[in-house]
Structure 1
C-alpha cells in the first residue's frame, strides 16, 4: 500500500541526510478521509495521525482509540480558543499555537485536565497576511509569554507559501528552533517531505500521498 511506499521514502531520505533511522515521525493526515481509508492504515499498524478540525476528530478518534492501541492524534489545523478544552482532551500534540489568547486557554486546560500535549508554535515564515502563525521575529517574546503561563513548547511548525521554494522556509524554521532551544520541527508535506527531512524535519505531515485525494475540505 501507499503507506509502505511513503515509509520507504522517509527511510531513504533519513539515510541520505545522515539522519538516524526512525528519527522522523510520519503524521498521516486523516482529515475528511473516508473511514475505510483510515482504518486500512490503522490495520497496517500506523498509529500517528493528523487532524485539522476538532469536531471531526471528536466524532471518530475516541472510538478508534478503543479499537487500536497506541494511537497518537495531532492537531495540525488552526485552533479556535473556544476549542481549547476539547483539544487538550483529544490531542497528543498541537502544532498550531499562534497567539497568546490561545496559549492562555491551553495553559488553563492543561492545568485542569493534567494532560500535557506536545506544543508546536506555528511560524508564518512567508509573512503571509492570510495565513496563521506568528512572525519569526516575534518568537522569543512569544516563547517567554508561553513559559510565563507554565507552557513548555517543544517545537515549531510552518507551511511555506504555495508554489514557493520551501528550502529557505525550512532553513529559517530550523535556525529559529536552534536559536530558541527547541528540538522539534514540524515541516514538510506530500510534495516536499524529503526536502524537509534533508533540512532537519522531525515530523512530516502527509495526507494525499498516503490516502489519495480527499473527498472534501
Structure 2
C-alpha cells in the first residue's frame, strides 16, 4: 500500500536546515531596519536539494481556511504563489513521534495557485535552479496535493507556531512530485524543499501543468 511505504520515510522528519535558514532570513530582515526588500528565494543555487523560502502575508480567510500570498526575490524578479491552508489540520504524528498513516494524510489541506507574473517568474527560476530551463508559465489550475501533516499537534493558524508537511503532487510525468514544506506563522514564512533531484522534472510538470 502506497501510504504505508510513504510513512516509513516520514519518520525521518524534515531537514533542520530549513529552520536554520528561516532564522537567518529573519535576522536579515531585522538588520534591514524595516526595509521592504524581499528575502532571497534560495540561499544556494548549487545545493543538492533546492530549498525555497517565501515571506507570507495573510490576504483572506474563509470559514475553513486561511489564504496567504507568498513572495520572495530571485535575481531581479519577484516570485510568488497563493497558498491556502485549512484550519485545524489534524496531526499526522503520534505523541512518540511515529507517523500515523491512518489520519495524517489529507487531500488538499494545503492548496497552491498562481498570483500571475510572480508565479510565472517562479517557474522560470525553478527551471534555472533545476538546470532544466523552461519558457512555460505557472498553471492556472489550483494545485491540490496529498498532504501529510508532520506534526504532533493540530495545526492552529491563529497561533504563532511552526508546522511541517510533506506534499505529493500528481502530474503528467506519472511520478508524484514530492516536496517537504514548512509554514511558520511566527516568522511569517513558507518553505518548500525538494526530496531529491530525481523529482525535478515532476515538480516542473506540476507547476506548469504540462
The two structures have a TM-score, normalised by structure 2, of: 0.28
Which structure is higher in strand share?
A: 2
The two structures have a TM-score, normalised by structure 1, of: 0.28
